Chains A and B, each alone.
Chain A
């Protein structure tokens, strides 16, 4: 998992901030409150950037590192937002032996992000998955709900262009 800060600018929407403060207010001072607060903060923002973590740290009197440690421990929590187009590359056995790693590498090069991350303009986010049940088409990648089978790394730029 990448652990650098996201390059996506944080949108400090006052309405969302208000919701976050209400969640914190509800749980403040309670033993074991951190995880429910983080879950609900992720529901509000879709992900947990440093700005949100700092607010939680300050308001709950919890060291930022402790919050970051919990977030990076559980795969449920996201440090990065999802893009308007969600790309997912299958790394299941069949796709993997058919070269999906190379497809993923090409995507990383083209987008300049690692799996789990989102491009600065929020247009694409990149993830990996394990088998979508289309092994006959291996290697497979998904863009939103569109399935691309028998992928070659060289096809990546043209597919991305369709969504730009």
Chain B
């Protein structure tokens, strides 16, 4: 594209034609503040934080949606611009519940940060009527507090556009506008899938996960309980951000040490049960291929995706792998195999999981996730909650040793388990095992590059033992919807599909550390975090799930073989078709 000549604050720049003033300023190292803007998702120019002066334009323009043009003269820091931003902030504050001291988002709030940036002293100058909204804590994974909502519509945009769900939106108009569901339904009565992407993009404290840190601390305090923890792969790729580290810095060692310092009796790794998932799922795939079972087989690790499928594509339920997610497999094994080995009564075990995910809070309460007559997992925490616990326990995270190993016998994992957190990772891990099983020969190259990367939909064909296997990998349920529609119409013929609910996979899950939109819009967070996982994979001595010695031992000592009766009882589950609206029973 051709370049255009523009002036920003009196200096000359050449920038590509077609970009926005916001992007052009960014190239000149000027970070214009934004609030409502989410690149490609919420480009509505509504909040007017990003206003600038453009010579010749009528009034101030919103730089987030205003394209550059030849000869354009832009002023980003005039008194007129600053006064306007200040007034906008004061107006936003006029009906905002300013309880920053007790707000979960304090310190990470984009509105708060902008108020500090512009030194807003008169925060109540425009105070008038303040609507009082009841909190919606009906869903198990989140709380909506519209008294802190600034109507930026970022949550609405991700829900509809990235996830293809659209259960929240602006209702009514003018001063009465609020973000909610149709007919004032509570979120639990809608087909919300629990992904938490809305929380991830909310600039204020209007959306937050349900906090389970207090009950976790209580369990840790209880001497009669054996409290064990499992940590999902993506947590180690994101947790560092909560402590000021750059995005994509892996903190596996510090994380394990922090969990020990918190007092967990055992610190285990969900990567172990990711390897276990591969054993079961690869077996299921081979069975279906060899015995003419329902294809394509679709992965089932992501509870947000599962709920999406149950609501929106119930006819595809037979295609879902019956494998439980790694979180649930872990709990089922912990309360049987591990309990037996450790000589602990499974009733005394409190199984805590740390996940990059809010839908995991829903998953632990699903039907058929209680293999041992009790819930497989008792508490599901998000990465953000773990960070909160570490801070509250006064643990100096950054100075913890980087060296640490998970506990035995559920702590060892292969590189295949590690990459479960990134889109394409489950597929690659499954292929590493399935291809070896099909050909009976060791795999020369374990890197399946075609399924890596952050594209929303990826596909590849592998010729294995004389058979072409078509695979597809997608993330973000709006993309999953596209893929399923292509499968149903016969346009595509896949054998195996990996779906992760959140765009980019679990590394970008709804429970991961929050990053300001200012970062999200210009940095590919999901790619950076995924790299941390692929680096760990590269360095692991073992990179195929079926070579994990503890997994081999688990089958020898306890489960028999993949797909055995016992494996089915413990490691597999079932799904139900769910209605779209207004059925409180669909909570479980």
Q: Which residues from chain A sit less than 8 Å from chain B, CB to CB?
A: 1, 3-5, 50, 53-54, 63-69, 72-74
5 pairs, A vs B, C-beta closer than 8 Å: A3-B171, A3-B183, A50-B183, A63-B166, A68-B183
Cα A3 to Cα B166 in complex, Å, equals: 18
A residues near B172, Cβ cutoff 8 Å: 1, 3, 72-73
B535-587 residues with Cβ-Cβ distance < 8 A to A are: 580-581
A residues near B165, Cβ cutoff 8 Å: 63
Q: Are A63 and B183 in contact (CB under 8 A)?
A: no
Closest chain B residue to A75, Cβ basis: B173
Q: Are A65 and B173 in contact (CB under 8 A)?
A: no
Q: Are A65 and B166 in contact (CB under 8 A)?
A: yes
B residues near A54, Cβ cutoff 8 Å: 581
**Given the contacts A63-B160, A63-B169, A1 and B183 also touching, CB distance less than 8 Å:** no
Cα A53 to Cα B185 in complex, Å, equals: 14
A residues near B184, Cβ cutoff 8 Å: 3-4
Q: Are B169 and A5 in contact (CB under 8 A)?
A: no
Cα A69 to Cα B171 in complex, Å, equals: 4
Residue among B169, B173, B181 with the highest chain A CB neighbour number at 10 A: B169
B176 to chain A, nearest CB (A): 7
Closest chain A residue to B176, Cβ basis: A1
Which 3 pairs show the lowest CB-CB distances between chains A and B?
A63-B166, A68-B182, A65-B169
B136-184 residues with Cβ-Cβ distance < 8 A to A are: 160, 165-173, 176, 181-184
B252-304 residues with Cβ-Cβ distance < 8 A to A are: none
Q: Are B170 and A69 in contact (CB under 8 A)?
A: yes
Q: Are A73 and B580 in contact (CB under 8 A)?
A: no
Q: Are B182 and A53 in contact (CB under 8 A)?
A: yes
Interface flags, B179-222, vs A, CB<8A=1, else 0: 00111100000100000000000000000000000000000000
Cα A64 to Cα B168 in complex, Å, equals: 9
Q: How large is the interface on B (under 10, 10 to 19, 20 to 34, 35 or more residues)?
A: 10 to 19
Q: Which listed residue (B173, B176, B183) contacts A5, Cβ 8 A?
A: B183
Q: Are A65 and B176 in contact (CB under 8 A)?
A: no
Cα A63 to Cα B190 in complex, Å, equals: 11
A143 to chain B, nearest CB (A): 28
Q: Are B166 and A66 in contact (CB under 8 A)?
A: yes
A119 to chain B, nearest CB (A): 19
Cα A54 to Cα B183 in complex, Å, equals: 12
B residues near A67, Cβ cutoff 8 Å: 182
A residues near B190, Cβ cutoff 8 Å: 65
B residues near A65, Cβ cutoff 8 Å: 166-169, 181-182, 190
A residues near B183, Cβ cutoff 8 Å: 3-5, 50, 68
Cα A50 to Cα B166 in complex, Å, equals: 17
A9 to chain B, nearest CB (A): 16
Cα A74 to Cα B170 in complex, Å, equals: 12
B571 to chain A, nearest CB (A): 35
A residues near B182, Cβ cutoff 8 Å: 50, 53, 64-65, 67-68
Cα A63 to Cα B184 in complex, Å, equals: 15
B residues near A63, Cβ cutoff 8 Å: 160, 165-167, 169
Closest chain B residue to A6, Cβ basis: B183
Cα A67 to Cα B176 in complex, Å, equals: 17
**Given the contacts A4-B184, A5-B183, A50-B182, A66 and B171 also touching, CB distance less than 8 Å:** no
Cα A139 to Cα B217 in complex, Å, equals: 63
Cα A67 to Cα B166 in complex, Å, equals: 11
Cα A50 to Cα B182 in complex, Å, equals: 9
Cα A120 to Cα B166 in complex, Å, equals: 31
Closest chain B residue to A57, Cβ basis: B580
Q: Are A66 and B160 in contact (CB under 8 A)?
A: yes
Q: Which listed residue (B160, B171, B173, B580) contacts A68, Cβ 8 A?
A: B171
Q: Are B173 and A73 in contact (CB under 8 A)?
A: yes
Residue among A4, A68, A74 with the highest chain B CB neighbour number at 10 A: A68
Cα A72 to Cα B173 in complex, Å, equals: 7
Cα A147 to Cα B3 in complex, Å, equals: 70
Cα A73 to Cα B173 in complex, Å, equals: 5
Residue among B167, B183, B580 with the highest chain A CB neighbour number at 10 A: B183
A78 to chain B, nearest CB (A): 14
Closest chain B residue to A58, Cβ basis: B580
Cα A112 to Cα B374 in complex, Å, equals: 47
Q: Are A68 and B169 in contact (CB under 8 A)?
A: yes
Q: Are A64 and B171 in contact (CB under 8 A)?
A: no
B residues near A69, Cβ cutoff 8 Å: 169-171
Closest chain B residue to A74, Cβ basis: B173
A53 to chain B, nearest CB (A): 7
Cα A64 to Cα B370 in complex, Å, equals: 34
Given A68-B182, A69-B171, A73-B173, 6 additional A-B pairs, CB 8 A: A1-B176, A3-B184, A5-B183, A50-B182, A64-B182, A73-B170
A79 to chain B, nearest CB (A): 8
Cα A68 to Cα B170 in complex, Å, equals: 9
Q: Are A64 and B581 in contact (CB under 8 A)?
A: yes
B residues near A5, Cβ cutoff 8 Å: 183
Cα A114 to Cα B229 in complex, Å, equals: 52
Cα A129 to Cα B183 in complex, Å, equals: 24
B167 to chain A, nearest CB (A): 6
B residues near A68, Cβ cutoff 8 Å: 169, 171, 182-183
Residue among A54, A72, A74 with the highest chain B CB neighbour number at 10 A: A72
Interface flags, B364-406, vs A, CB<8A=1, else 0: 0000000000000000000000000000000000000000000
Residue among A3, A4, A64, A65 with the highest chain B CB neighbour number at 10 A: A65
A residues near B171, Cβ cutoff 8 Å: 3, 68-69, 72-73
A residues near B580, Cβ cutoff 8 Å: 64
Cα A68 to Cα B182 in complex, Å, equals: 6
Cα A50 to Cα B181 in complex, Å, equals: 13
A residues near B181, Cβ cutoff 8 Å: 65
Cα A74 to Cα B174 in complex, Å, equals: 11
Cα A67 to Cα B183 in complex, Å, equals: 11
Interface flags, B25-65, vs A, CB<8A=1, else 0: 00000000000000000000000000000000000000000
Closest chain B residue to A2, Cβ basis: B184
Cα A45 to Cα B300 in complex, Å, equals: 43
Cα A63 to Cα B581 in complex, Å, equals: 11
Cα A69 to Cα B182 in complex, Å, equals: 7
B residues near A1, Cβ cutoff 8 Å: 172, 176
